[in-house]
Chain A
Amino acid sequence: MAGDFKAEFQEFWTRTVSKVRAYMFCACQNWADADDMTQDCYLRALRGWGQFNGSASREAWLFGIARRTSVDWFRRKKAAVENLEELSRISPAEPPDEKIEKVWDAVGDLNADQNQVIYMRFAAGLSYAQIAQALEIPVGTVRSRLHRGLKDIRGRIGRSDDEP
């Protein structure tokens, strides 16, 4: 029984971990923290494995947990971060590519609702239906948030391109 569960969970973990990790990276912009958050997310999923009611897909359920994990992480981080040095530590360490950097900045400037949809779509590769289940919103809302988000990104990229 325990062996079956372990195998099932391992299979689920193998299938989904790259998506969750990418999503967490988008949220915190730091691989070390993304790994911690991913671990935390899977431990929560493990504890709540039996509570899944089957109304959504298991993956959408996991991303609901991932979203709550990231929110909690930011809440804890906000309490812990006291100075600008700490804030600068969580900025990306890799040398920035200008074009990519602009898009990242634009995505970062979106509101949280649009952010979540963009990250789940582009980092985790979730379908509209899965995003809707994870965020507990209608599919139509997912479409409109994605559309508004991309329009905002276009506006911001355009503005920064126009700047001298």
Chain B
Amino acid sequence: MNRDAIERLAIDSAAGELNEDARTLFEEYIAQHAQARQWARDISQVYQQTQTAISSRTGAASATIAAISIKSGLPALIRWRPALRWAAIVCVAALLGAGAGRWSRAPNAAMKPQREIASVNPPADVANIDLHSAAGSFWRAKAAAMFEARPYRQVNAAIQAGGLWQKYEQYIKEKHHE
């Protein structure tokens, strides 16, 4: 075995990372090889020096553990943990809802909401009035015209044809004489 291999095994042995069988074999090997024994002793010494140096300062850590307190942070976090979680869930849900509402749009014009137009059906006696006949009162004819569903252009044409307009002129004249 070369020096690196011996040193690695020596470090593993010092660190307690060799199993019993490997350790026995390694010890037998270095017992038989003086040079390997020297290499192993050398690196083991460095291992121990490093361990001693670090422990000499950090060993005090366990003696003063009690001085460290996590009371300031730990109980409060534990107490508020479920509440914080629920608050976060509510906030995320609200943000997602707002985002979805803000950005959602109908994908095409056909899906736009249609405006409902209420249809008004006139009573049968009103609907049956013939605007061009002389029967019925003036106001009944007006009401029938109002309920009649037809484009304005057609109404205008009907007025110009003389029926309704003549009735209205007659009404004005009668009123004037009265």
- Please report A residues at the B interface, Cβ cutoff 8 Å: 2, 5-6, 9, 13, 17-18, 21-23, 25-26, 31, 35, 38-39, 42-43, 46-47, 92, 94, 97, 99-100, 103-104, 107, 118-119, 121-123, 127-128, 143-144, 146-147, 150-151, 153-154, 157
Contacts and interface: CB of A to CB of B under 8 A. Distances in A.
B74 A17 contact: no
A21 B15 contact: no
Nearest to A22: B58
Given A103-B53, A154-B43, A157-B46, A35 B68 contact: yes
Given A25-B61, A150-B11, A100 B52 contact: yes
Contact of B56 (A6, A100, A118, A119): A100
A139 B82 CA distance: 39
Nearest to B58: A22
Interface string B2-33: 00100110011001010000000000000000
B87 to A, nearest CB: 15
**Which residue among B56, B58, B82 has the maximum number of chain A CB atoms within 10 Å of its CB?**
B58
Contacts of A123: 54-55, 58
The number of chain B residues touching the other chain, given as a range, is 35 or more
Contacts of A2: 78-79, 81-82
B144 to A, nearest CB: 78
Question: What are the nearest 5 A-B pairs in CB distance?
Answer: A22-B58, A103-B53, A18-B62, A122-B54, A21-B61
30 contacts: A2-B82, A6-B74, A18-B61, A22-B54, A26-B58, A39-B73, A42-B74, A43-B73, A43-B77, A46-B73, A99-B49, A100-B56, A100-B57, A103-B49, A103-B50, A104-B53, A107-B50, A107-B53, A107-B54, A123-B54, A123-B55, A128-B17, A143-B11, A147-B4, A150-B11, A150-B46, A150-B47, A151-B46, A153-B49, A154-B46
Nearest to A43: B73
Contacts, number: 108
Interface of B: 4, 7-8, 11-12, 15, 17, 42-43, 46-47, 49-62, 64-65, 67-68, 70, 73-75, 77-79, 81-82
Nearest to B56: A100
A39 B51 contact: no
A22 B61 contact: yes
Contacts of B81: 2
B50 A150 contact: yes
Contacts of B43: 147, 150-151, 154
A143 to B, nearest CB: 6
Given A46-B77, A123-B54, A150-B50, 8 more contacts: A18-B65, A26-B54, A39-B73, A47-B77, A104-B54, A143-B8, A153-B46, A157-B49
Nearest to A3: B78
Contacts of B57: 25, 92, 94, 100, 104
